[in-house]
Structure 1
Amino acid sequence: MTAVSENGNLNNTTKLNSLLINSKYIGTDYSYKHEIVWKNAIGFLILHLLGLWGVGLMVTGNIGLKSCIWTILYMYAGSTGVTVGAHRLFTHKSFKATPLLKVFLLCLQTIAGQNSTFIWARDHRLHHRYSDTDGDPHNSKRGFFFCHIGWLMMKKHPYVIELGRTIDMSDLQADKMIMFQKKYYYYLYFMVAFLIPVFVSIYFFNEHWLSSFLVCYCARYILQLNGTWLVNSAAHLYGTRPYDRKLQPVESWFVSCISLGEGWHNYHHAFPWDYKAAEESMHFNCNATIIRFFERIGLAYDLKIASPDMMRNRILRSGDGTHHVLGNDEAKSAVSAIGPLHPLNPTYNSTLKSPDAILKPEGLPLFHEKDVLINDIIRGNIAG
């Protein structure tokens, strides 16, 4: 996969060349200060206050059980659209889908309210190519708050803007379904993410309109967003790196429990094209089970996986020594937590030195088996 899209190839190449001239490597410039976008910051504050009000209604029993169940099911339906659809299918192409499944996953992804699939995939491809540098929209080197939610409250770093234009999106640009959703995203979002969930609770479960709005929209939205954001924050900061110690992302049982399988993040960044996004397909990984279900009923096919030998070689060559089978006692003992030392503790974290995220301007590869070797070569040339 080339770094420059066919559309606007010359323009994008010129911009990338300007970055190459000005910077030999891309890391994190801690002297750079992001500018706050106040309308975004205030909007998220109001949304969270309303969402917490809705959560309060749920936990105190001030809304019906049917509405609570409906909200939770609808929330995880939207999450599936993001994790299985926008993430594993459209961004990483870890499996192929029939047109029917594509439409279904696009509908579910719209529920989540995380922008159109096209924009989501572009930002996520940028995140993988320039992971944990100033080219990463949610650079974890800038701290938990920034990579969790702060990045959405601030103006994008110039590298994010310029390098984002070099990401090859020609495959999605050629997909009429993707582009239809992108064009009509806000209309579709209003219908499936707001109108339907709120209306169902009012009409079928006899809820007051305010309670339905607070729970079925606001509470559902903030819970879903924060679950997704934990993959950007906690799964880059608190955990172990058994597959590649030179990659900032970590393995987080806690995040995997919440996100149904997206917290095995060190593995995922080592093998981004593996449909499981984890070594184990059944271990806190409902999303992999969902994909295999679609395969069994003929809607998904060509599921890509990393072979056992490929995983073993990567673990022994570049892992931090904490792998549950191939690790060593010394590395495993270098793990701490605030409170009980257990992987389900959100603060479960290796005390080994975190990697310096410093990349060449062309960034890291994204898709194929051969990228594993290329990845190691790139990082080996610039990291000790």
Structure 2
Amino acid sequence: MAPNVISATVEEAPRETHRNTKPLEPVQIVWRNVILFLGLHIAAVYGMYLAFCCASLCAWLYGILLCYASGLGVTAGAHRLWTHRAYKAKLPLRIFLAFCNCMALQNDLYEWARDHRVHHKFAETNADPHNVNRGFFFAHMGWLMAKKQRDVIEKGKTVDVSDVWADPVVRFQHRFYVPLAAFCCFVIPPAVPYYCWGEDWYTCVFGAGFFRYVICLHFTWFVNSAAHLWGNKPYDKYISATESKWVSALAIGEGFHNYHHTFPWDYATSELGYKYNFTTLFIDCMAYIGQAYDLKTASHESVQQRKKRTGDGSYDEILGKKE
């Protein structure tokens, strides 16, 4: 199915372009979350040790497959499908992506979509949940260890997510999220290698469980931190989001962030096809078998005009030519 090419620049919510006129509120640390993340990383380090010292090649291939699957639950599911409505999906694909999203354990689909829409609408302001103006660590993971800012809560109430809640798959996942996420993230991944080919139990639990989980968390977090700090801005030089090939490679396509914040409704999040963008390949494959449809993408003319109007004129290393 060919993508639905759109010439006009439309967004699901107008972006607040004003800069902060008041100082940042002090961060209130949630120590319970600090201790939780500390414990997760200690378990992940032990899992990394076991993975390198004890895991079989089959276990490593399985772990990579898990990373891609849980990543798709965030990139193709929570992000491009439910948050930005960049394409539509039939029930089997939505169920699969909801399952993968549970494996990723990065909040349920409804809350993920709500927070991300707030991020887009109020990017780089006090209402941005992971405001990069607070620094790399806060944008990367610190925001998850602090109470939400008042502006985030107040402005968040102005963002409509009723369309996300209207999906029965989202409502089911939200209702049973805790047991579903625990089972999909920490029970199924270790159980498969243990029972199917006799991998060591501790390697399964700490490797396929904690190490895999924490690695995937950081791959996603780099989109909020590194892809808002370092890189070029060929589409809009007035925003913090940048183009980052290495972040896109780690986050299976989400690192072309300057393009994405300029054209958030484009299902491909890039004009470069499948380069460093496994998620786009996956969505196109789903469209080929009829599970994904109504794929939205920006027209070539719109992209080129936007580059000339607001781009920084930077050299695009991926295309290998000047814009």
TM-score (norm 1): 0.77
- 8 A Cα contact 2:12 2:84, kept in partner: no
Match of residue 45 from structure 1? 38
Q: Give a deviation string over 1:318-365, Cα, whole Å, max 9, x none.
A: 0011043453xxxxxxxxxxxxxxxxxxxxxxxxxxxxxxxxxxxxxx
Displacement, 1:210? 2.2
SS of 1:166's partner is coil
Displacement, 1:194? 1.2
Distance 1:179 1:135 in 2: 26
Distance 2:252 2:18 in 1: 35
Q: 1:181 to 1:206 in 2, by over 3 A?
A: same
Q: Give a deviation string over 1:226-285, Cα, whole Å, max 9, x none.
A: 000000000000101110001110000110111111100000000000011011112211
Displacement, 1:201? 2.2
Structure number, greater radius of gyration: 1
Q: Which runs of 4+ in 1 moved over 4 A?
A: 1-4, 28-31
Q: Give a deviation string over 1:97-119, Cα, whole Å, max 9, x none.
A: 11111111111111100010111
- 8 A Cα contact 1:315 1:323, kept in partner: no
- 8 A Cα contact 1:97 1:300, kept in partner: yes
Which of 188, 197, 209 is matched with 1:196 structurally?
188
Displacement, 1:205? 2.6
- 8 A Cα contact 2:47 2:211, kept in partner: yes
Match of residue 198 from structure 2? 206
- 8 A Cα contact 2:223 2:255, kept in partner: yes
Counterpart AA for 1:44: F
Which of 99, 111, 116 is matched with 2:91 structurally?
99
Aligned residue pairs, count: 308
Distance 1:320 1:96 in 2: 33
Match of residue 222 from structure 1? 214
Which of 241, 246, 249 is matched with 2:238 structurally?
246
Match of residue 374 from structure 1? none
Match of residue 85 from structure 1? 77
Which of 139, 161, 174 is matched with 1:169 structurally?
161
Which of 51, 54, 69 is matched with 1:62 structurally?
54
Displacement, 1:211? 2.1
- 8 A Cα contact 2:19 2:124, kept in partner: no
Match of residue 375 from structure 1? none
- Give identity over the alignment, percent: 43
Single out whichever of 314-323 and 267-276 deviates more from structure 2. Answer: 314-323
Q: Which runs of 5+ in 1 are unaligned?
A: 5-23, 328-384
Counterpart AA for 1:54: G
* 1:233 aligns to 2:225 (yes or no): yes
Q: 1:170 to 1:40 in 2, by over 3 A?
A: same
Q: 1:28 to 1:75 in 2, by over 3 A?
A: farther
Which of 131, 135, 160 is matched with 2:127 structurally?
135
Distance 2:207 2:22 in 1: 41
Match of residue 145 from structure 1? 137
* 1:154 aligns to 2:146 (yes or no): yes
Distance 2:21 2:145 in 1: 19
* 1:76 aligns to 2:71 (yes or no): no
- 8 A Cα contact 1:132 1:141, kept in partner: yes
SS of 1:127's partner is helix
Q: Give a deviation string over 1:191-230, Cα, whole Å, max 9, x none.
A: 2111111111221232333221110110011100000000
- 8 A Cα contact 2:194 2:204, kept in partner: yes
SS of 1:305's partner is strand
CA RMSD of aligned residues (A): 1.9
Distance 2:201 2:46 in 1: 14
Counterpart AA for 2:25: Y
* 1:317 aligns to 2:309 (yes or no): yes
Match of residue 35 from structure 1? 28
Displacement, 1:141? 0.7
- 8 A Cα contact 2:24 2:126, kept in partner: no
Distance 1:29 1:261 in 2: 35
Distance 2:260 2:40 in 1: 31
- 8 A Cα contact 1:201 1:212, kept in partner: yes
Distance 1:49 1:220 in 2: 13
Counterpart AA for 2:288: R
Distance 2:136 2:227 in 1: 10
Distance 2:232 2:99 in 1: 35
Single out whichever of 276-285 and 140-149 deviates more from structure 2. Answer: 276-285
- 8 A Cα contact 1:126 1:136, kept in partner: yes
